[in-house]
Amino acid sequence: LLFSLVDVQIRQWRKNRAPSNCSGFVAYREHLCCYGVDVNRNYDFEFNQLNSRFNNPCSDEFQGPFPFSEPESRAVRDYLLGEEMRDNVDLLISLHTHGEMIILPYNHRKRTYSDDYHDLRYLAKKAADKIREDGGTDYQIGTAADMIGAFESVATGGASDWIKNNTSIKFVYVFELPPSLVTSFAFQMKPHWLIPTFNELWRGLKVLFDEMIRWRFP
């Protein structure tokens, strides 16, 4: 589902354009009504509204009134659970900025891991080592909740966590690309960062792709 948003004042819009939403107990109390849902928080895995960022319709991380309330998240769910894709995908990678991290499931709570966490971490380290060797960027590896540590880093209803928990896809990663977390205006990647970032990222991704070929065709 594509949408057009022409507004030079909102360059970093991250939600969809769902009609004005006044749900959530924070919104009810404060009478807040705003457009859009953060589709990446709209999945049915540990979905809750304890974090005020997620239950405030005016937050850019508003997770929606209930899991899979949005057509975009339902489309991804139905596609991955469909007959064509079921048991045919071994690797899923979601690219984000920023932070220089390779994030593994699960991210709704600190020190909460999948049963095969060490398998995921092993391959992630091989990719991170290649990126550091060829490009110099040092990607940290782990769950966001563990690596960042703040309450704000805990993400409920996350797409990657739902995919790991509800599909047969074993290797699920979120790459938070450069720059580091301490860089100002880092969501707006500078033009001169684009090619170097892609070049070193590709070397890490190729490690994962090669490993998947060996995994699927031993």
Token readout for 2 is 């594509």
User: Active site residue: 46, 72, 176, 200, which one?
Assistant: 176
Helices (H) and strands (E) in the chain, counts: 7, 4
Residues 6+ apart with CB under 8 A from 212: 90, 91, 171
Pairing outcome for strands 101-103 and 140-142: parallel
Residue by residue, DSSP assigns 58-123 as: TSTT---SSTT-SHHHHHHHHHHHSTTTTT---EEEEEEESSSEEE-S--SSTT---TTHHHHHHH
Question: Are residues 63 and 157 in contact, defined by beta-carbon separation less than 8 angstroms?
Answer: yes
Whether 176 is a known active-site residue: answer yes
Catalytic residues: 176
